[in-house]
């Protein structure tokens, strides 16, 4: 089976279309970053409090807003998660509500606000940890346990919390449900000190402003350093212009991806950063494959124009480019479609990234080489400096390598 047999497309001839396309997306993205949505940062970078709540019944957004307003959380944003039948809600407190002095204050306020039916002096079993539960049972001692009471009640508490979180999805609606995993005496003892609210908090993210700032700085530094490393390696293996072209290309990809996030007003979290790193790696891989072919062809076709050689190289590797891109896209698409809520932002970035990364190797990286060459020859500089320092390709005659390299 074969999709492409000796394609011969004039890619470089279309460079103005490519440029227009890239400019359109970059400018739209930059415009959105500057004047519209900004760069929507996830809680990891901006700081703040996210509380994920699961209700036992379909939640009423207005009621939640009202309850939160009563405790002074007027800025809270409420967002539904996943399918409607999940009854899951994300409560997002603005960064101003989070200071490092009382980091979890917002979380405590939210839980208190939602516990509208709390009887005095009782704890909410749906928001109690196994540690607290074990301590409570140890004090009540409903099983009249002997010397190993500590361990026994710890195990009972863990079994009940596991049942609540794993089997019942995080919310119990009646004490009787617990009788499947615990002794009736234990359940009876629980009823003295606990009540059941209609929700359970299943995930909390609280990031202080200081960490957010540091994380942002560090992510940017790490990416900048790794781009520099890439530049140096390519400069060493090829010519410095190849490195520059590769770095401009991945910068272009990152800019457009972040731009799409801004346009779609999707938040950039730490996992999205991981996805962007993946796309940088992928795009760079793609670019090098084409560069490598250009370098090889430069030695074989010394009489041709550079734009000819570049076009030929792109066409020769086109089959491979499309196949690899298609297969990687398949994997990422599976992740986007079946990977669940947590992976959504992440796989979204990858889906865009693979498309852009593949496009940019052909449409950005290769034309930069040609443009640089044209610019040099216009200034009367020697033309054929592009062959680079790479080892001559195996199996081919290696004569007159020096001539190619200097061209003077």
Partner 1 sequence: MNKTLGWKLGLIVATLVLFLFGIFGIPRDLSGSGLLASIRSRIHLGLDLKGGTHLILQVQVNDAVNGDSDRALERLKEDLRTHKINYTEITKPDPVNRPDQIVLKGVPPEATSDLRSTVSERLPEYDLNSGADNSWTFTMKPQALAELKNRAVTLAIETIRNRIDQLGVSEPVIQEHGLGQYQILVQLPGVDDPARVKEIMQSTAMLEIKQVLGGPYSSEQDALQQHNGVLPPDSVLLRGRSVGSQAGDDSGEQFYLVTRSSAVAGADLRSGGATVGRDTNTNSPDVGFVLTNEGGRKFAAFTGSHVGEKLAVVLDNRVREVATINEQIHDQGRISGGGMSEQAAKDLALVLNSGALPAGIKYLEERTVGPSLGSDSIRAGVRAAIIGMLAVLIFMLVYYRGAGINADLALILNLVILLGFMGYFGATLTLPGIAGVILTVGMGVDSNVLIFERIREELRNGKTPPSAVEQGFAHAWITIVDTHVTTIVSAAILFLFGTGPVKGFAVTLTFGLLANLFTAVFVSRMIFDWILSRKQRGEALSI
Task: At 385, give phi and psi (nearest 5°).
Answer: -95, 5
Q: Which tokens is 371 given?
A: 């443009």
C-beta closer to partner 1: residue 37 or 208:
208
Query: CB-wise, 15 or 282, nearer to partner 1?
Result: 282
Query: What residues numbered 92-131 form the site for partner 1, per CB under 8 A?
Result: 100, 103-104, 129-131
Look up residue 160 and give its DSSP letter: H
* 233 lies in the site for partner 1, by CB under 8 A: yes
Angle separating helix axes 344-360 and 306-338, nearest 10 degrees: 170
Residues 336-375, mask of contacts with partner 1 (x by CB under 8 A): -xxxxxxx--x---x-------------------------
Smaller CB distance to partner 1: residue 28 or 223? 223
- Interactions with partner 1, residue window 376-395 (CB under 8 A): 390-391, 393-395
Q: Strands, E, within 38-108: which ranges?
A: 48-55, 77-81, 88-93
Q: What are phi and psi of 90, to 5 degrees?
A: -110, 125
- Chain center to CA of 402: 46
Query: Which CB, 301 or 383, lies closer to partner 1?
Result: 301
Reported as type and span, the H/E element at residue 330 is helix 306-338
**Cβ of residue 324: shortest distance to partner 1, in angstroms?**
4
Query: Which range, of 19-27, 55-63, 164-172, 371-379, touches partner 1 by CB under 8 A?
Result: 164-172
Distance of alpha carbon 241 from alpha carbon 372, whole angstroms: 8
Decide: 295 and 318 in contact? Cβ < 8 Å.
no
Q: Is 83 in the site for partner 1 (CB under 8 A)?
A: no
Nearer to partner 1, 229 or 407 (CB): 229
Residues from 303 through 322 that contact partner 1 (CB under 8 A): 316-317, 319-320
Residues 20-39 that bind partner 1 (CB under 8 A): none
Min separation Cβ 95 and partner 1, Å: 13
Q: How far is the CB of 3 from partner 1 (least distance, A)?
A: 8
Q: How far is CA 280 from CA 124, 233, 252, 334, 360, in A?
A: 47, 15, 10, 20, 11
Tokens of 38: 């900004």
d(CA 243, CA 249): 10
In the range 50-79, which residues lie near partner 1 by CB under 8 A? 52
CB of 400 to partner 1, least distance (A): 19
Residue 29 C-beta: closest distance to partner 1, Å: 22
Q: Judged by CB, which is closer to partner 1: 39, or 333?
A: 333
Per the CB < 8 A criterion, the answer to whether 248 and 241 are in contact is no
d(CA 44, CA 48): 8
* Per-residue contact string for residues 138-157; x = within reach of partner 1 by CB under 8 A: -x------------------
Q: Which stretch binds partner 1 (CB under 8 A): 32-40, 112-120, 292-300, 366-374?
A: 292-300
Identify the three-state secondary structure at position 90: strand
13 vs 150 by CB, closer to partner 1: 150
CA distances from 284 to 224, 250, 311 (A): 14, 7, 19
Q: In the block, which residue shows the tokens 């929507």?
A: 40
Smallest gap from Cβ 330 to partner 1, in A, equals 5
CB of 280 to partner 1, least distance (A): 7
Residue 249 touches partner 1, criterion: CB under 8 A = no
Using CB under 8 A as the binding criterion, the count of chain residues that bind partner 1 stands at: 90
Cβ atoms 353, 257 nearer than 8 A: yes
The stretch near partner 1 (CB under 8 A) out of 22-30, 189-197, 281-289, 398-406 is: 281-289
What is the rounded distance in angstroms from the CA atom of residue 253 to the CA atom of residue 249? 6
Q: Does 284 bind partner 1 (CB under 8 A)?
A: yes
Q: Which stretch binds partner 1 (CB under 8 A): 9-17, 89-97, 160-168, 360-368?
A: 160-168
Site for partner 1 in 173-232 (CB under 8 A): 201-208, 210-211, 214-215, 218-219, 221-223, 225-230
CA distance 298 to 387: 6
Is 307:370 a contact under the CB 8 Å cutoff? yes
The phi, psi pair for 75, rounded to 5°, reads: -85, -5
For partner 1, the closer of residues 35 and 338 by Cβ is 338
The tokens describing 342, both together, are 């947590």
Sole binder of partner 1 in the list 60, 66, 148, 162 (CB under 8 A): 162
**Complex with partner 1: residue 165 or 177, whichever CB lies closer:** 165
Strands (E), 28-76: 48-55
């Amino acid at each position: 089976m074969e999709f492409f047999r000796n394609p011969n497309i004039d890619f470089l001839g279309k460079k103005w279309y490519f440029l227009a396309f890239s400019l359109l997306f970059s400018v739209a993205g930059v415009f959105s970053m500057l004047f519209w949505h900004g760069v929507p940062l996830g809680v990891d970078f901006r700081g703040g409090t996210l509380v994920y709540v699961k209700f036992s019944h379909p939640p009423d957004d207005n009621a939640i807003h009202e309850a939160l307003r009563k405790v002074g959380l007027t800025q809270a944003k409420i967002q539904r998660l996943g399918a409607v039948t999940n009854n899951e809600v994300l409560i997002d407190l603005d960064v101003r509500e989070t200071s490092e002095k009382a980091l979890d204050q917002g979380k405590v306020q939210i839980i208190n606000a939602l516990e509208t039916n709390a009887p005095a002096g009782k704890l909410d079993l749906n928001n109690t940890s196994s540690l607290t539960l074990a301590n409570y049972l140890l004090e009540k001692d409903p099983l009249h346990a002997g010397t190993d009471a500590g361990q026994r009640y710890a195990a009972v508490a863990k079994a009940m919390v596991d049942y609540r979180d794993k089997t019942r999805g995080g919310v119990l609606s009646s004490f009787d449900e617990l009788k499947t995993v615990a002794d009736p005496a234990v359940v009876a003892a629980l009823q003295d000190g606990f009540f059941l609210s209609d929700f359970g908090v299943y995930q909390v993210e609280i990031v202080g402003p200081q960490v957010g700032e540091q994380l942002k700085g560090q992510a940017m530094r790490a990416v900048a350093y790794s781009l520099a490393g890439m530049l140096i390696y390519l400069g060493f293996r090829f010519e410095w212009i190849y490195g520059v072209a590769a770095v401009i290309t991945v910068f272009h990809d990152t800019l457009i991806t972040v731009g799409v996030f801004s346009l779609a007003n999707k938040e950039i979290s730490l996992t999205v950063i991981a996805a962007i790193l993946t796309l940088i790696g992928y795009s760079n891989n793609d670019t090098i494959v084409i560069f490598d072919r250009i370098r090889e062809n430069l030695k074989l076709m010394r009489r041709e124009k550079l734009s000819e050689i570049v076009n030929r190289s792109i066409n020769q590797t086109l089959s491979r480019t499309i196949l690899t891109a298609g297969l990687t896209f398949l994997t990422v698409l599976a992740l986007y479609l079946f990977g669940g809520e947590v992976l959504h932002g992440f796989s979204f970035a990858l889906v865009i990234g693979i498309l852009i990364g593949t496009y940019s190797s052909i449409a950005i990286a290769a034309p930069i080489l040609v443009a640089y060459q044209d610019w040099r020859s216009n200034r009367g500089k020697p033309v054929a400096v592009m062959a680079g320092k790479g080892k001559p390709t195996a199996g081919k005659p290696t004569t007159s390598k020096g001539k190619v390299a200097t061209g003077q």
